[in-house]
Amino acid sequence: HVGRGHLLDRRAGPGMTLEFKVQFLGPAREGRVRCRGRIMRLGKSLAFMSSEARDADDQVIAFATATWKLLRAK
């Protein structure tokens, strides 16, 4: 699976997902859900990323971690 994760693509180009894990902590019952992603570490060939989703009360309802293989050298 070759992906174009927007955050990674903007920083380092296209990548391929090596590992992806999501943990759901609670439901999004109503209102707006905000998601935020970040690159935890960007190496020459791998990127380690995380993200979280927060509900209208600013409570974390899910978070994810991912490891991506960069398809272009940095």
Rounded CA-CA distance 60/26 in Å is 8
Rounded CA-CA distance 13/8 in Å is 6
- pTM equals 0.80
Give the type of residue at 31.
G
Rounded CA-CA distance 60/66 in Å is 18
- For the stretch 25-34, pLDDT in tens is 999 989 999 9
Question: Does 37 score more than 50 pLDDT?
Answer: yes
